[in-house]
Amino acid sequence: MPTVAQHFARLHPTSSQRLSGAAPEQASPVVLMVSGGADSTALLVMACTSKLDLRDGRGLARIARERIHVLHINHHLRGVASDEDERFVRDLCAHFGVPVCVEHASFSDLGGQNLEAAAREARYAAARRYVRELCAQTNTPRTSARIVTAHTASDRTETFFMNAIKGSGPAGLSSIPRRRNIIVRPLIDMTHGELCRYLEVAGMTWREDETNKDTSYLRNFVRHRVVPLASERNANLERTIGATCDILGEEDAFMSQLAARSLRACVRREQEGLIVIDADRLASAEIAIARRMIRLAYRFVAPEERLEMRHVEAVLSCVAAGAGSLSLPGSVDARMEFGTLALRTAAARESIVAGWVPVPGTMPLASQAVLETGVVEVPHGADPVAFARELSEASDALQAGRTVCVDAAALGYAERDLTRLLETSPALPAEVLNARLWVDAPAPGDIMCPLGMHGRSKKVSDILGAAHVPVAERASVPVVRTSPGGAIVWVGGIRLDERFKCTAASKLLIKLVIRAIAETGARMDG
């Protein structure tokens, strides 16, 4: 997102700005994406004979010929005409003495995409590969390279109307940006008509794609039906919409920055395929920011998928209600529980142990195991510490270390609430009392205060190493916490935290047991 100085630098570059960044740019590759149509042909001619603004701080400047490389993608969608386009581009590059790389694309499996989107994705993927190869050859950083496309003000106007017709937010209505990372569009302020006239004056020919006349495609419908009609009311339509797109794009970038900052403050847990968000903070965010936060969180777990507005609204409805779950595109599960919103991919649901376990209640774990939680009252007159030890040892007659008793008060649970739970019904929903624990896998940087170390802290990774847990198996070790990202209560089957141990003052205990699923089934049958 540019500052005022950066925004107007392209219009009024100072001498220092023109010089800044020149040194690292001298050998970095500039890849022109040339199809053979009027716009991309004009791009090549201008790059070789005139000046272009590559948005590298130098403003309008000539590009050293040795930096210029052309990429042409033969999509093979128009038979002989596609091959003729390829020959035209090869001849054009030979005329100007610049190297050309031709890649061939196949679209036998679109994977649910429309053809236009699949072709666009193939072009940019090829361009990124080519840039990587060229940067490796020239030993230059990719950040200083440029992928240059021939998008014009006309393309921008068409995309604006297309997205408006389909329904879009500010990101879609901002249309085609001037720059995205190393992709730049120096012709974005010129119209298609102006470029055609430029080529005619220069005595250059170009290729025409006959499919551009087929109005069954949305872009062609907008180009031949919508834009001419709108131009009757505004002869300067393309530049007017271009200015609107700039404003929308800059404001969208600012809003996205705010949303990203807000999301970082709300995240309680994140790992591959999983993100857990503080739902109360999300619910208190302005709706415009909250919608973007959901999209950013979803992109974290499913970067290749896209959310529609109805999905975003459905998730936020669950957040507002404080409960509910739904399935999102890409088999992502969105679930509201105990004041948190968790987004999980299908792979994460299978491989990652992460979620709330109610007290009392059960939760499936990895390795065919289950975590059971329960509430136990210390008998009147009994020694709480000795009682907890006996309870654990009795449960662990077969497998030591698989049961612990935790002081309920240390977890912050009110005695009257848990007593009510014991006196009424063991089936009373834990949500009523907000009694729950978070269970997930060890995370980098996890620290706890192991029982017996008198309050001194230790890395969980060191504890697992001392327990001889193989590195490959550590992700399956359940870690019980007070909340996502909260204090560690128990590294399942290995070590209890000193802060949650039973004391002489303990009256109610939370019993945590890890059982094999087969053992649980046998116990239930008995």
At residue 430, the pLDDT reads 44
Q: Consecutive 10-residue runs of the chain (526 residues): their mean pLDDT?
A: 66 52 66 96 96 91 94 90 94 96 81 75 93 93 94 96 89 92 96 96 92 90 96 95 94 94 91 89 95 95 88 95 92 88 84 81 80 89 90 63 86 68 50 74 91 89 88 83 92 92 91 74 44
Q: How far apart are CA 383 and CA 350, in angstroms?
A: 42
CA 235 to chain centre: 41
Please calculate the CA angle 236-242-243 and round it to the nearest 5 degrees. 95
User: What is the CB neighbour count within 10 angstroms for residue 317?
Assistant: 12
CA distance 311 to 295: 10
CA distance 317 to 336: 10
Sheet holding 403-407, edge to edge: 361-365, 369-377, 508-516, 403-407
Q: Rounded CA gap, 456 and 453, in Å?
A: 6
Strand 488-491 versus strand 479-481 pairing type: antiparallel
In a 13 Å sphere around the CA of 477, the CA atoms on its Cβ side amount to 24
Can you give the pLDDT at residue 415? 64
Distance, in Å, from the CA atom of 462 to the CA atom of 468, rounded to the nearest integer, reads 10
For residue 86, the cross-strand partners are none
Binding residues: 35-40
Residue numbering of the annotated binding site for ATP? 35-40
The closest of 211, 224, 239 to 153, measured between CA atoms, is: 239
> Structure pTM?
0.68
Cβ(496)–Cβ(490) below 8 Å: yes
